[in-house]
């Protein structure tokens, strides 16, 4: 007896060739409306689904294959006499192979003018049902969701007249991932539609972007997955113009770099090491900004990641060419600049639109912990200085205010406890990740060294002790910006007044762990 294949696909790429190959292997083909029409036009003889079900396709295609004549043929266990007797009793013919791809739900969501009604119509019901029935019965049924697997299946059929159990099981695993991802997209859409922010179960789906050579260390396996709808300013959209493949650590550093630069509008360059900025500089041109970022820390830039928020010109490229760098990220490069940077074959050069996407809902980030994930809104807050409060008697000068604004934008991107010492155009000292605040302050001050005259300090969280103020006073610092909110605020303010220091409270904390 001939074997039976059921083919019902929305994306019809390659389906004619696949069906022809199956027919040549002595399969008969059952098919639904549009798919059948295409196959018939290609000269194949196929069986209409309603011939099998005895029911017309109805309700605008909402009901076509949802029928015991189909699901019985897919689900019946071939090793159980009772099952085989039952299908025989109901004249259900067994189906051996299924190729289904689903209504384009994701593609519909991506259309800017898609109505809710259209989106709902693009939820496939019959397709996933068939895939699940067939995949559950992988002991006997071969299930395909993608042309990727045509070759493997056809090769086995040609060689031994059937697919191997290993292949059927592998394909079933793919199917269940495929339908789960499809449903995750539907769940996400519906949650967003009705405003469920904290669903009972979290079913985010991701698509493989690339496998990585290894993770943080070379004994750790790693891969990179992208969200279904990647946002602009995200590394998944970066075009690599030169250099070695990005590693796990590169991706994390590059991501941190993109986050920093998105908070700056004027020509700005940030240099990072291990996800912390070692220098941030601004200028009237991108070359000026690079010089400022370089001068911020000419030592740590060695092996660093550089992100620039303007097109890279030849002059800036020439400066960067003089230094050993890991990655350069910018929106674009002049041909001359790219030619200069490409002289180093390992230097990773990425072109990326750095604009932060305006989202309808707050973008969230997931952080894994042992046994779960934490979900939070991205820290996209960039406070307006009108909301800031000068809590000391001394008011900032205009120049100090510009420097404090810069310091506040910079310190947000430094690991806590974070202290930056800056002027209005660049960082002078960065104290990152120390276990006490004064420790970070001392590191930043040591780096700023003889540049403290007129410099200001930014602190990502409040000063829990007045010792930091004593330190600032003894180093001649005259202006500080911090969130405020400590039980010792009054003491800290009084001490700042005593030393004629200006202090601004922003009211917003920027911890970064």
Ligand X SMILES: NC(=O)c1ncn([C@@H]2O[C@H](COP(=O)(O)O)[C@@H](O)[C@H]2O)c1NC=O
Q: Report, as residue numbers or ranges, the catalytic residues.
A: 136, 274
Q: Which is nearer to ligand X, 33 or 433 (CB)?
A: 33
Which residue's structure tokens are 């972007």?
A: 209
Residue of the chain from 21, 125, 154, 338 that contacts ligand X (CB under 6 A): 125
Backbone angles phi, psi at 480, to 5 degrees: -135, 145
Query: Is 126 a binder of ligand X (CB under 6 A)?
Result: yes
Query: Is 66 a binder of ligand X (CB under 6 A)?
Result: yes
Query: Is 9 a binder of ligand X (CB under 6 A)?
Result: yes
Residue of the chain from 47, 63, 390, 391 that contacts ligand X (CB under 6 A): 63
The token duo for 350 is: 């990425």
CB-CB contact of 29 with 7 (8 Å): yes
Query: Is 273 a binder of ligand X (CB under 6 A)?
Result: no
Q: Give the nearest distance from C-beta 208 to ligand X in angstroms.
A: 23
Q: Give a three-class secondary structure readout of 317-357.
A: HHHHHCCCEEEEEECCECHHHHHHHCCCCCCEEEECCCCCC
Q: Which is nearer to ligand X, 66 or 391 (CB)?
A: 66
Residue of the chain from 30, 74, 102, 307 that contacts ligand X (CB under 6 A): 102
Q: Which is nearer to ligand X, 12 or 213 (CB)?
A: 12
Q: Give the nearest distance from C-beta 182 to ligand X in angstroms.
A: 10
**Contact range with ligand X by CB under 6 A, out of 105-113, 119-127, 382-390, 407-415:** 119-127
Query: Is 64 a binder of ligand X (CB under 6 A)?
Result: yes
Beta bridge partners of 281: 269, 426
Query: Is 65 a binder of ligand X (CB under 6 A)?
Result: yes
CB-CB contact of 381 with 259 (8 Å): no
Query: Is 167 a binder of ligand X (CB under 6 A)?
Result: no
Number of residues that bind ligand X (CB under 6 A): 21
Binding track, positions 19-58, relative to ligand X; x by CB under 6 A: -------------xxxx-----------------------
Query: Is 193 a binder of ligand X (CB under 6 A)?
Result: no
DSSP 218: T
Query: Is 8 a binder of ligand X (CB under 6 A)?
Result: yes
Which residue's structure tokens are 């007129």?
A: 454
**Contact range with ligand X by CB under 6 A, out of 95-103, 170-178, 265-273, 356-364:** 95-103
Please state whether the peptide bond connecting residue 417 to the residue before it is cis, i.e. omega within 30 degrees of 0. Answer: yes
Q: Give a three-class secondary structure readout of 438-507.
A: HHHHHHHHHHHHHHCCCCEEEECCCCCCCHHHHHHHHCCCCEEEECCCCCCHHHHHHHHHHCCCEEEECC
Helix (H, G, I), strand (E, B) or coil at 336: helix
Q: Which is nearer to ligand X, 62 or 213 (CB)?
A: 62
CB burial of residue 226 (10 Å; 0-12, 13-18, 19+) = middle
Q: Give the nearest distance from C-beta 141 to ligand X in angstroms.
A: 16
Residue of the chain from 18, 99, 103, 264 that contacts ligand X (CB under 6 A): 103
Diameter of the chain by CA atoms?
Answer: 98
DSSP calls for 2-27: -EEEEEEESS-TTHHHHHHHHHHTTE
Q: Which is nearer to ligand X, 55 or 511 (CB)?
A: 55
Query: Is 248 a binder of ligand X (CB under 6 A)?
Result: no
Query: Is 72 a binder of ligand X (CB under 6 A)?
Result: no
Q: Considering Cα of 279, then 284, then 288, then 290, what sign does the dihedral take?
A: positive
CB-CB contact of 112 with 144 (8 Å): no
Q: Which is nearer to ligand X, 12 or 343 (CB)?
A: 12
Q: Which is nearer to ligand X, 100 or 307 (CB)?
A: 100
Which H/E stretch holds residue 160?
Answer: helix 150-160
Residues at the interface with ligand X (CB under 6 A): 8-10, 32-35, 61-66, 100-103, 124-127
């Amino acid at each position: 007896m001939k074997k039976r294949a059921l083919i019902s696909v929305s994306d019809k790429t390659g389906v004619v060739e696949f069906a022809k190959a199956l027919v040549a292997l002595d399969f008969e083909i059952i098919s639904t409306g549009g798919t059948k029409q295409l196959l018939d036009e290609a000269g194949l003889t196929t069986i209409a689904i309603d011939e099998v079900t005895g029911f017309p396709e109805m309700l605008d295609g909402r009901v076509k294959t949802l029928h015991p004549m189909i699901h019985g043929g897919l689900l019946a266990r071939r090793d159980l006499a009772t099952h085989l007797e039952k299908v025989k009793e109901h004249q259900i013919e067994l189906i051996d192979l299924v190729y289904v791809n689903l209504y384009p739900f994701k593609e519909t969501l991506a259309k800017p003018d898609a109505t809710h009604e259209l989106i709902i119509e693009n939820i496939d019901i019959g397709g996933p049902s068939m895939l699940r029935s067939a995949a559950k019965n992988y002991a006997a049924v071969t299930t395909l969701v993608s042309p990727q697997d045509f070759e493997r299946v056809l090769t086995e059929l040609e060689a031994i007249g059937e697919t191997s159990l290993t292949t059927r099981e592998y394909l079933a695993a793919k199917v269940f991932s495929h339908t789960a991802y499809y449903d995750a997209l539907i769940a996400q859409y519906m949650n967003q539609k009705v405003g469920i922010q904290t669903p009972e179960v979290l079913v985010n789906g991701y698509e493989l972007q690339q496998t990585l050579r290894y993770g943080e260390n070379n004994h750790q396996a790693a891969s990179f997955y992208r969200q279904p709808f990647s946002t602009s300013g995200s590394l998944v959209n970066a075009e690599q113009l030169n250099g070695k493949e990005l590693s796990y650590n590169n991706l994390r550093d590059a991501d941190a770099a993109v986050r920093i630069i998105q908070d700056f509008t004027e020509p700005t360059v940030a240099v990072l090491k291990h996800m912390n900025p070692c220098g941030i500089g601004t200028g009237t041109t991108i070359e000026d900004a690079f010089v400022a970022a370089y001068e911020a820390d000419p030592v740590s830039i060695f092996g660093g990641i550089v992100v620039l928020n303007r097109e890279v010109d030849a002059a800036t490229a020439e400066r960067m060419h003089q230094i050993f760098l890991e990655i350069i990220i910018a929106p674009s490069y002049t041909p001359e600049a790219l030619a200069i940077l490409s002289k180093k074959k390992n230097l990773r050069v990425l072109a990326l639109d750095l604009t932060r996407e305006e989202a309808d809902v707050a973008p969230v980030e997931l952080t894994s912990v042992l046994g779960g994930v934490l979900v939070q809104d991205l820290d996209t807050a960039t406070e307006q200085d009108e909301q800031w409060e000068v809590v000391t008697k001394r008011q900032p000068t205009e120049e100090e205010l510009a420097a404090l604004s810069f310091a506040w934008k910079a310190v947000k991107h430094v690991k806590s406890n974070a202290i930056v010492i800056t002027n209005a155009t660049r960082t002078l000292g960065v104290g990152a990740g120390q276990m006490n605040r004064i420790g970070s302050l001392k590191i930043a001050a040591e780096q700023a060294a003889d540049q403290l005259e007129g410099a200001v300090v930014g602190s990502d969280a409040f000063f829990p002790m007045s010792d930091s103020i004593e330190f600032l006073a003894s180093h001649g610092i005259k202006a500080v910006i911090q969130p405020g909110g400590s039980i010792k605020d009054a003491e800290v303010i009084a001490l700042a007044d005593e030393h004629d220091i200006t202090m601004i409270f922003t009211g917003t904390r920027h911890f970064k762990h």
